[in-house]
A and B are shown apart, each in its own frame.
Chain A
């Protein structure tokens, strides 16, 4: 059984990953739709920017977040009066997780939207549906498995996020110390390998659970399934 401390770490990790995904999912869906369906000047550049966190060292992303969203950073300074603080808070960990998982999420959703026959959207238009209605009644439901997959990938990525998090919000127990950070801390202290192992096993269990959940969701929502 996990101890209270371990449970706290797991809950924090879940909270960070959940909110990271929840905040970025709508943005990722919009981005994926634009990349899959729209043509505009600078699209290649935009595409590259979206994928940047995938190829950059996470530490670099974390440092960029620190520079931009730190208390003295250009964005952090604007947000602080509104009561939104990222630096050295769990919200910052969620932000780091969201940024690192974003390309994975966009990729999966974009592939799913690409696979939706655009002519179905055209057919819906001729039946009187405006663009936004077409998106919510045709495109999104048909791309649903991809949305679930994308969200899961990002969630798993968020549970494992280390470099950007530790650089941006440091390793503060109870605030920003997620599972990987805690495991790392234990491995750095002599004689605490058992705790590290314990947390690692918990981490594996969490990932498997997320995988099973997404599999179930996709199966349940698969369009065109036999039901007669």
Chain B
């Protein structure tokens, strides 16, 4: 059982978050900058809230009213950071031993051999972090945190700096932890597919506030989800300049690094800078330049990366000239077209999809 009710002020940004959770894995979900990391930092004792209360089980870690503020080293809250933060001057074995040695007096929660075999660390014990892959680093970081005998494990975007295969690998290990160790985990993420796969409960955070909490399916179905995460509004912003107007058809041509974007008439003089937002769901992909088609904008593009390995939808990051744009397509389509980083494709954007609301003056 985790209870959090805190207020944190960070310059002009204020966080007021209250939630309770009693699930093996609780996800804190929200956009980057929503305040998720600050909240877990407060749970870890790294950030001190202005007021509030934090309790894990029946142990109070912070209570401003009663003047309780347990030091981070005494909280027994494990923390797995996005970039692992292994100690570079120590071997993997020494990294694992670091916290284990310091918490030897509390009851051993899981023994070293179990962690080593669970996370498959046996063959890399003598290596230094500099000689580990991203996935290996993250596994060592998880093992190091587990061996410090935590009563709660915080994971702040532990997959964010990994490539797709490594992500899948670590996800499987985290599932293993959940199922084998019964250690409560607070999992911070802005990737929906991770949350849906791992978490049982989720807390939706936007602008430093909890806007929804409860079971994952319940929160996902709620309208707050769409309103606060912009899940369905993913896209790219393109910096352009007005090239010319097409009076006859009421169109404007916007020049950008990569081509010319045809959009319905924009009220701007030629040469003026204009910012156009192209929503990912409005971009289609074709392998060859299509003919006999109504779409006005066809750009030669290169696939940079594919995200979202889980679920039905894939965001394909493309580069048109030097301009990044995103196409949201089904995973089925991505597979049928055999899209992979480096593939040369054509990006199709309907001119009418870029309406007045998607164009702004820079």
Residues of B within 8 A of A133 (CB): 102
A224 to B87, CA, bound (A): 9
Q: Are A125 and B88 in contact (CB under 8 A)?
A: no
Q: Are B72 and A125 in contact (CB under 8 A)?
A: yes
Q: Are B102 and A128 in contact (CB under 8 A)?
A: yes
Residues of B within 8 A of A123 (CB): 79, 81, 85, 87
Binds A, one of B111-119, B125-133, B225-233, B260-268: B125-133
Residues of B within 8 A of A82 (CB): none
How many Å from the CB of B108 to the closest CB on chain A?
13
Q: 9 closest pairs, A vs B, by CB?
A: A127-B99, A223-B89, A128-B102, A126-B79, A224-B130, A125-B72, A224-B88, A123-B85, A127-B148
A5 to B96, CA, bound (A): 57
Residues of A within 8 A of B131 (CB): 226, 228
Q: Are A122 and B46 in contact (CB under 8 A)?
A: yes
How many Å from the CB of B30 to the closest CB on chain A?
21
Q: Are A129 and B129 in contact (CB under 8 A)?
A: no
0/1 per residue, A166-184, Cβ < 8 Å to B?
0000000000000000000
A141 to B88, CA, bound (A): 10
Residues of A within 8 A of B103 (CB): 127-128
Residues of B within 8 A of A130 (CB): 71, 73
Interface size on A, residues (CB 8 A): 23
Out of A119, A122, A126, A224, name the residue touching B128 (CB < 8 Å): A224
Q: Are B85 and A120 in contact (CB under 8 A)?
A: yes
A27 to B129, CA, bound (A): 32
A142 to B85, CA, bound (A): 13
Residues of A within 8 A of B126 (CB): 228
Q: Are A227 and B128 in contact (CB under 8 A)?
A: yes
Q: Are A124 and B87 in contact (CB under 8 A)?
A: yes
Q: Are B73 and A129 in contact (CB under 8 A)?
A: yes
Interface range, B side: 20 to 34
A226 to B91, CA, bound (A): 11
A117 at interface, CB cutoff 8 A: yes
Known: A119-B85, A142-B89, A224-B88. A129 touches B130 (CB 8 A): no
Closest-by-CB residue of B relative to A142 is: B89
With A126-B44, A223-B89 known, 13 other A-B pairs at CB within 8 A are A123-B85, A123-B87, A126-B46, A126-B75, A126-B79, A127-B102, A128-B74, A128-B99, A130-B73, A133-B102, A224-B89, A226-B128, A226-B131
Known: A125-B73, A127-B102. A223 touches B78 (CB 8 A): no
Closest-by-CB residue of A relative to B148 is: A127
Known: A124-B98, A223-B89. A119 touches B81 (CB 8 A): yes
A137 to B75, CA, bound (A): 20
Of the listed residues B73, B77, B102, the one surrounded by the most CB atoms of chain A closer than 10 A to its CB is: B73
Q: Are B87 and A138 in contact (CB under 8 A)?
A: yes
How many Å from the CB of B187 to the closest CB on chain A?
16
Closest-by-CB residue of B relative to A226 is: B131
Residues of B within 8 A of A128 (CB): 73-74, 76, 99, 102-103, 148
How many Å from the CB of B155 to the closest CB on chain A?
12
